[in-house]
Chains A and B, each alone.
Chain A
Amino acid sequence: MFDSPQVQLLMRLPLPRSFANYVGREVFRFLLTVRGLGAFALITLGVMLAKFGAARQVVHPLVLCETARAGLSVLPMFMLLSAALGLLVVGHAIMWLTTVGAINYLGAIMVMVVVRELGPLICALLVLARSGTANVIELGTARALGEVEALEALGIDPVHYLVVPRVVGMALGVFSLTVCLILGTLVSGYFWAFLQDVALQPRAYFEQLAVSLTGLDFLLVGLKTLSFGFIIAIVTCYHGLAHPLHLEEVSRAAVRAVAQSVVAIALTEAAFIVFYLAG
């Protein structure tokens, strides 16, 4: 059907102008967003370096507060989640591994699925949902109410006061939550295996885990989680702060920030997979 002369003729025709305009606009908007986010990330990094240790009496408590908000306060939810994730992975793994008589690979599967992939990804998405959206709303409201101008009038760099603590706090929060989630899932995984009467001693299970883990895994988990935290903080702070907002625009900014964070996290995850496979 697609080879018919009529379809071929149709495909050679120029696109309707409105559709081309639409695609062009979207591409242009995407490029502008990438440029804006890139510039904002560079400015933030520049401020972090230039003002490292400056006004520590004000900024350090803010960093602690943001770390607690992005990390510690969501720990109970993550413990519950780690139990559920352990059940999910172990439940499926045991069913298939028992069928093919390869139960000795349980540790390797846990490392591959939980440590390398699901742990950091799930943590990043949950921190985005819980703390990232709050970031946009808080900063967007602050912007709309003129608080950014108030900070500037007081000679306080808004990026130093509002963004840097969130970036550091969120990066540390995602990292520490991922470590907790991974540990919780690995332990709960064995618990679920034990409940399913799998003939696997705890020592053998943890030996399997230890053998499967490499130095690269530790490095990648660290890099990945810190990158995810940085990305979430940058995208959400950018949408809350970078443009003058009216109060009614804050919710739309939050939706945009979440969508763009998810895309950025997925692309970063893909880059890490490529890096890992190539390594």
Chain B
Amino acid sequence: MEDVTLGSIQDPRRVVAEGINWTVAVGDYWVVAGGQGAGKTDLFMMAGGLMAPLSGRYRLFGEDMPIFEAARLKGRLRVGLVFDGGQLLHRLTVRENVALPLCYHHHLTEAQAQPRVQAMLDWLDLGPWADNTPATMPRNWQKRAGLARALILRPEALLADNPLGGLDVLQRSWWLAIFEQLSKGHGVMEGRPVTLAVSAADLRPWRRHARLFAILKNQRLTVLGGWEQVEKAEADVLHGVLEERHLE
């Protein structure tokens, strides 16, 4: 992203952040932290190609974003997006939700897509929920199903919006372990490491996991770098996303 001005997904004319310069290299594992209303979701929606920047330039794998033309769609599908609430289609079961992008883009019937869908569901422990509709599932499992759906097309990069929000300790550990596996490369993803960018309200859980950090605050994205740079950052930059005692 070069000098990007970010709008809101609800009201694209409203400026959420400006002067964003951010480069994500292949294989990176980023955490973008910010308080509520800082614009993390809007940043990830734009990064996922759901809206255009108000100004500036945003390129993904060398392609100008957003991509709406069918002919260039393949480029856009190299990035997957996990929504905060999963955003599953409420009329479909979890299995159908996960199979949908595969059937749509690869012209498969549900039966043909089944082996790959089942492998994904098994890896993410979603087997028992496979035939449930989203309304009959707890929210944390809906998020997992959203992750499965985003990964089923085997994207090269994954954007996850606030994946740890509202989760208990066990669930958080599970997500961190899964991101670790994705970052290193997992069989379900053909062993290829996935470039990761996640948003978070709190930096602490990511300390030993993510490799690069940025803070979205006061309409600015401050790119910090590794955890050493986080520890060296000024307190007011970190205020709200990291308690001061963790810096000591």
Contacts and interface: CB of A to CB of B under 8 A. Distances in A.
B137 interface: no
Contact of B108 (A57, A145, A150, A156): A57
Contact of B107 (A57, A152, A154, A157): A57
A50 B80 CA distance: 25
Contact of A147 (B70, B77, B89, B103): B89
A156 B104 contact: yes
A146 B85 contact: yes
Interface in B87-116: 87-91, 100-101, 103-105, 107-110
A149 B90 contact: no
Interface hub of A150, A152, A244 (most chain B Cβ within 10 A)? A150
A141 B87 contact: no
A157 B146 CA distance: 18
B143 interface: no
B61 to A, nearest CB: 14
A66 to B, nearest CB: 12
B90 A141 contact: yes
A152 B107 CA distance: 18
A155 B81 contact: no
Contacts of B105: 55, 155
A180 to B, nearest CB: 27
Contacts of B136: none
A149 B149 CA distance: 14
Contacts of B83: 146, 149-150, 153
B144 interface: no
Contacts of A151: 89
A58 interface: yes
Contacts, number: 67
Interface in A24-79: 50-51, 55-58
Nearest to B92: A147
A55 B107 contact: yes
A58 B90 contact: no
Given A57-B109, A145-B90, A149-B45, A156 B101 contact: yes
A145 B92 CA distance: 14
B154 interface: no
Contact of A154 (B9, B108, B110, B149): B149
B90 A142 contact: yes
A147 B73 contact: no
B46 to A, nearest CB: 12
Contacts of B108: 57
A146 B100 contact: no
A153 B90 contact: no
A140 B177 CA distance: 37
Given A55-B107, A57-B109, A244-B10, A154 B88 contact: no
A138 B110 CA distance: 23
Contact of B100 (A50, A142, A154, A157): A154
Contacts of A149: 9, 45, 50, 83, 87
A154 B87 contact: no
Contacts of A161: 104
Contact of A153 (B48, B85, B91): B48
B103 A153 contact: no
Given A57-B109, A155-B73, A155-B76, A150 B10 contact: no
A145 B150 CA distance: 17
Interface in A119-167: 138, 141-142, 145-147, 149-157, 161
A156 B100 contact: yes
Interface in B114-146: 146
Interface in A231-253: 244
B164 to A, nearest CB: 19
Contacts of A145: 85, 87, 90
Nearest to B79: A153
Contacts of B153: 154
A152 B81 CA distance: 10
Interface of A: 50-51, 55-58, 138, 141-142, 145-147, 149-157, 161, 244
Given A55-B107, A153-B83, A154-B153, 12 more contacts: A51-B70, A55-B103, A138-B91, A141-B90, A142-B90, A147-B90, A149-B50, A149-B83, A150-B87, A150-B89, A153-B48, A155-B76
13 contacts: A57-B107, A57-B109, A138-B91, A141-B90, A142-B89, A145-B85, A149-B9, A149-B50, A149-B87, A150-B87, A154-B100, A154-B104, A155-B104
The 6 A-B pairs with the shortest beta carbon distances in the complex, nearest first, are A150-B87, A153-B81, A154-B101, A146-B87, A55-B104, A58-B104
